[in-house]
């Protein structure tokens, strides 16, 4: 079946540094990927929509200069958290839609801890 993979699954970084999270669709092409953020014991909040070959669309309240999204190919989207701060510590999950279908597949998620 379709699989969406995220890497790394866990990352710890120092405050002020940047960290990149990758989201790959392993056996299908995804023109659109979505990035969500989940705080402990809370629901998922959409951060941005990543479109292959164009700029990402950010949700209201999400800093586009802080959360850089790149969707350089049909199978890869990256989220870079720049100048990370402890409050950026969270669980980040990406999702992708396969081609013309209506099923959305999620990655395994990435735990970011900023110390």
Partner 1 sequence: AQSVTQLGSHVSVSEGALVLLRCNYSSSVPPYLFWYVQYPNQGLQLLLKYTTGATLVKGINGFEAEFKKSETSFHLTKPSAHMSDAAEYFCAVTGGISNFGNEKLTFGTGTRLTIIP
The binder of partner 1 chosen from 7, 20, 109, 113 (CB under 8 A): 109
CB under 8 Å to 75, separation ≥6 — which residues? 24, 25, 26, 28, 29, 30
Q: Which of 77, 105, 112, 114 binds partner 1 (CB under 8 A)?
A: 105
Residue 43 binds to partner 1 (criterion: CB under 8 A):
yes
- Closest separation in Å from C-beta 55 to partner 1: 15
Q: Is 35 in the site for partner 1 (CB under 8 A)?
A: no
- Residue 113: Cβ-neighbour burial (10 angstroms; 0-12, 13-18, 19+): middle
The half-sphere exposure of 49 on its side-chain side, counting CA atoms within 13 A, is 8
Work out how close the CB of 108 gets to partner 1 at its nearest, in angstroms, rounded to a whole number: 4
90 forms part of the interface with partner 1 (CB under 8 A): no
- Which lies closer to partner 1 via its Cβ, residue 28 or residue 111? 111
Q: What whole-number distance in Å separates Cα of residue 78 and Cα of residue 72?
A: 9
- Does the footprint of partner 1 cover residue 34 (CB under 8 A)? yes
């Amino acid at each position: 079946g379709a699989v969406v993979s995220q890497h790394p699954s866990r990352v710890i970084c120092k405050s002020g540094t940047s960290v990149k999270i990758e989201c790959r669709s392993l056996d299908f092409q995804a023109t659109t990927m979505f990035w969500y953020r989940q705080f402990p014991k809370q629901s998922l909040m959409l951060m941005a929509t990543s479109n292959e070959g164009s700029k990402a669309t950010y949700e209201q309240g999400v800093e586009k200069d802080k959360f850089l999204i790149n969707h350089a190919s049909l199978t890869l989207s990256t989220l870079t958290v720049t100048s990370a701060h402890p409050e950026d510590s969270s669980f980040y999950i990406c999702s992708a839609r396969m081609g013309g279908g209506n099923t959305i597949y999620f990655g395994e998620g990435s735990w970011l801890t900023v110390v």
